[in-house]
């Protein structure tokens, strides 16, 4: 999403809102907030990255404006591997989603509340292989929008359900999130308001994993600091009545997260777009986020979502270097610990005990989570990259 500098400056000087309300819990307590760690910087050709999706065994992203182009990216280096251009010009495309048959391009961003051409482009997946692209268009409008509240009908994320799309609005004035539905069919539709919930910020992306009854939203608050909202125990695509947990991330200001994806519900990739402030800038990046302290038991079916993630306190600080590494990884602070390495799908791909140096030559290039488990059960996690 392309944001004018004046709006960012206004956001940065606005006081942060108070506790989240209307039944939504916010994580509190003496805990270490999870950090979305940098995997790699994107080239500036992706400075407007606004979406991330998985297709044909690899990750893709796209910018939010200009010609509709999807970019195949290396999830370790951030490099562009392949480009597929389409003969369509987008105005503000904020999310790409898919089902078994189609890819959906959500061209419905509306920062200033001035658009009257909100739409979702639909492309048959078979067209990607053939190279002949025949798009359908699904158009919609918000009946509640008027000249006084028009900035409350920006939208940057949507879920593809069985029969409907579910739109999660980015409400600049009220800083909550309304949920709308429209039919998942070609046509022009009046968006149906289902309800709202407090988001305490601007919702910019989502990852829906129906196999886990889990939806994870990403966004940023009035200080331009990122957060995620975990929505879980979802029944029959009823997102409003499901349980919710707001998790503020420990990243610095200026990390404007735009998109989120996961395969296992625990380990996530996010993207943030280029953002220039008065005295600094943030490059477009691919980020890695480990939500296992919150979601591991829930996803594995062994417990609930942990609504209070107390900081794990091992005897020593865990250190890894060099990181990224091409082969050897040195570890400090893990004496007497069991070392486990997990890939982005949550699969354990290596274990060792009381080791200070690991040979990672057998691992494919990518991002991994290293977990050191002490004899008393306390754990420390960190993200590593293998090149």
* Average pLDDT value for the chain: 86
Structure tokens at 176: 């909550």
Beta strands (DSSP E) in 28-175 are 37-41, 49-55, 58-63, 66-73, 80-90, 95-98, 102-107, 119-124, 135-141, 154-160, 164-170
Of residues 233, 224, 237, the one with CA closest to residue 265: 233
**First-residue to last-residue Cα distance in the chain:** 30
pTM of the model: 0.77
User: Tokens 């404006």 appear where?
Assistant: 65
Structure tokens at 105: 């391009």
Region of poorest pLDDT, from 72-86, 108-122, 198-212, 304-318: 304-318
Q: In sequence order, which ranges of 83-187 are alpha helices (DSSP H)?
A: 126-130
Cis peptide before 322 (omega within 30 of 0): yes
Q: What is the pLDDT of residue 386?
A: 87
What's the CATH code, domain 319-386? 2.60.40.3080
Q: What is the pLDDT of residues 172-229, one digit of tens each?
A: 877 889 999 999 999 999 999 999 999 988 999 999 999 999 999 999 987 788 999 9
Q: What is the pLDDT of residue 31?
A: 55
Indicate the domain borders of the chain: 5-299, 319-386
Highest mean pLDDT, choosing among 186-190, 200-204, 249-253, 311-315: 186-190
CB 211 within 8 A of CB 201: no
Round to whole Å and give the CA distance between 59 and 190: 33
| Res. 279 pLDDT band, cuts 50 70 90 | low
Biggest distance spanned by C-alpha atoms of the chain: 64
**Average of pLDDT values for 334-340?**
86
* Residue-level length of the chain: 387
**Average of pLDDT values for 331-350?**
82
| Res. 323 pLDDT band, cuts 50 70 90 | confident
Round to whole Å and give the CA distance between 218 and 189: 26
CB 194 within 8 A of CB 179: yes
Q: In sequence order, which ranges of the chain are alpha helices (DSSP H)?
A: 5-13, 126-130, 292-299
Contacts of 195 (CB under 8 A, 6+ apart): 178, 179, 240
Q: What is the pLDDT of residues 114-127, one digit of tens each?
A: 999 999 999 999 99
Within 13 Å, how many C-alpha atoms sit on residue 383's CB side?
A: 20
Q: What is the pLDDT of residue 321?
A: 87
Round to whole Å and give the CA distance between 178 and 168: 6
Round to whole Å and give the CA distance between 115 and 154: 9
Q: Among 2.120.10, 2.50.20, 2.30.30, 2.60.40, what is the CATH number of 5-299?
A: 2.120.10
Q: What is the pLDDT of residue 19?
A: 35
């Amino acid at each position: 999403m392309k944001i004018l500098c004046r709006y960012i400056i206004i956001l940065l000087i606005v006081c942060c809102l108070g506790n989240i309300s209307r039944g939504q819990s916010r994580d509190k307590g003496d805990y270490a907030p999870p950090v979305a760690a940098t995997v790699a910087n994107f080239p500036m050709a992706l400075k407007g990255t606004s979406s991330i999706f998985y297709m044909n065994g690899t990750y893709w992203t796209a910018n939010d404006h200009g010609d509709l182009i999807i970019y195949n990216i290396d999830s370790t280096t951030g490099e562009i591997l392949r480009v597929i251009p389409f003969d369509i010009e987008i105005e503000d495309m904020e999310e790409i989603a898919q089902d078994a048959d189609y890819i959906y391009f959500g061209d419905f961003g509306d920062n200033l509340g001035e658009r009257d051409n909100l739409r979702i482009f639909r492309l048959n997946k078979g067209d990607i292989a053939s190279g002949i692209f025949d798009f359908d268009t699904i158009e919609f409008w918000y009946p509640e929008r008027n000249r006084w509240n028009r900035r409350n009908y920006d939208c940057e994320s949507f879920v593809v359900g069985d029969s409907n799309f579910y739109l999660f609005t980015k409400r600049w004035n009220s800083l909550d999130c309304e949920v709308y539905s429209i039919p998942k069919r070609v046509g022009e539709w009046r968006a149906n308001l289902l309800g709202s919930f407090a988001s305490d910020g601007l919702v910019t992306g989502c990852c829906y994993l129906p196999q886990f009854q889990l939806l994870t939203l990403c966004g940023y608050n009035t200080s331009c600091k990122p957060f995620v909202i975990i929505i879980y125990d979802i029944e029959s695509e009823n997102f409003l009545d499901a349980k919710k947990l707001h998790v503020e991330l420990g990243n610095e200001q200026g990390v404007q997260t735009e998109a989120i994806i996961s395969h296992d519900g625990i380990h996530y990739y996010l993207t943030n777009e280029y953002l220039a402030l008065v005295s600094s800038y943030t490059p477009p990046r691919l980020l890695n986020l480990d939500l296992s302290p919150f979601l591991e038991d829930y996803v594995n079916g062994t417990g609930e979502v942990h609504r209070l993630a107390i900081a794990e306190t091992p005897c020593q600080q865990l250190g890894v270097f060099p990181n990224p590494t091409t082969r050897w990884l040195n570890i400090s602070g893990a004496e007497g610990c069991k070392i486990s390495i997990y890939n982005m799908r949550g699969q354990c791909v290596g274990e060792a005990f009381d080791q200070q140096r690991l040979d990672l030559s057998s691992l494919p290039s990518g991002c991994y989570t290293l977990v050191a488990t002490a004899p008393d059960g306390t754990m420390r996690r960190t993200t590593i990259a293998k090149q």
